[in-house]
Amino acid sequence: MRLLCIILISLAPFQTTQTRTDPRSKVIDSLFVLLKPGQTYTLRFDKPLPVSGIGKNEKPPYREWGSGYVRLLEERPCFVRFRTLTLQEALQEVEKVNAKRKEWGGEPVDPDSVRRAFEGGAPFTLAYFRWFPPQGGKPAFDQLMLQISLSIETSGRRAKAQRRRVETKGLQIRADVNRVNVRIFLIPEGKDKVLYIMPR
């Protein structure tokens, strides 16, 4: 998991996103889905998303996942398992990032901004990249292919949300960015296969 990516990805989406839920569709914008801190979930895809490090004789661009306040547990072409961080764990990640930035240079991350995100924002983010190594004098760069922002479950939000029992295939959600044209299904792990969906 990219340590710097965990901060850079996660702070922007809940501040700038303009997603909407389409009442005519069963597909839910990911931002309206509430996730519990410290819980494990699976994202399933209807077609493979290659992950670098699994195949042999790989050539660039390389493909990998980054995350915001999410710990990646398993990365496979057809699914990704992840655990959402608690506020305490997220603040520990911020300490690590700030230590790196103090060493390498760069503005430190304000822990209060992380606390605000966990009080009622959308801190949980997963992003799928294509990574191009340096070539011909050009620096390395990333190309964002898929980004999924998910909101935090609080007692106040849960009271207003719709309870949705999730079938085996999962709840179909719409990503913020989807340049790979993949359908995405979210599955909560554990006995209680329930997700809470915020109204518009």
- The model's pTM: 0.84
Instruction: Give the CA angle between residues 37, 183, 14 to the nearest 5°.
Output: 40
Mean pLDDT of the chain: 86
d(CA 152, CA 154): 6
- The strands making up 79-84's β-sheet, listed across from edge to edge, are 28-29, 171-174, 184-188, 40-45, 79-84, 70-76
Question: Does 64 score more than 50 pLDDT?
Answer: yes
Give 133's pLDDT tier (boundaries 50, 70, 90).
Answer: confident
Q: Which two tokens stand for residue 139?
A: 């620096």
Give 94's pLDDT tier (boundaries 50, 70, 90).
Answer: very high
Question: Does 14 score more than 50 pLDDT?
Answer: no
Give 24's pLDDT tier (boundaries 50, 70, 90).
Answer: very low
User: Are 71 and 5 spatial neighbours (Cβ–Cβ below 8 Å)?
Assistant: no
Give 191's pLDDT tier (boundaries 50, 70, 90).
Answer: confident
